[in-house]
Amino acid sequence: MKLIAQKGPVMAHRISLSPILAAARNDLRSHRASRAARMTLMRELASYSTPADQIELDAILDRADPDAADEIRQMIHRGFAA
């Protein structure tokens, strides 16, 4: 089999990877930032270690946005289950 080089814009139909790679980098950057924020929150939640601290945290969560409070309570529960 003999390969013959072609001249001209043969790759004109080729998709540019630059936008795809940029989007992937942005997604990865966002994922890393979200994970770092979750890890920081988990460390902060772990500091509520005494029963009095946990009562205070419950009171704070009772006053917080219900959706955010539920998410934090789930994080606490996962932390205790681990």
Q: What is the pTM of this model?
A: 0.63
Q: How far apart are CA 39 and CA 24, in angstroms?
A: 22
**pLDDT of 9 over the 80 cut:** no
Q: pLDDT > 90: what percent of the chain?
A: 54
What pLDDT digit, counting tens, does each position of 36-63 carry?
999 999 899 989 989 999 999 999 999 9
| Other residues' Cβ atoms within 10 Å of the Cβ of residue 15 | 8
Residue among 50, 40, 51 nearest 75 (CA): 40
| pLDDT score of 68 | 92
Q: Where are the domains of the chain?
A: 48-82
Q: How far apart are CA 76 and CA 45, in angstroms?
A: 7
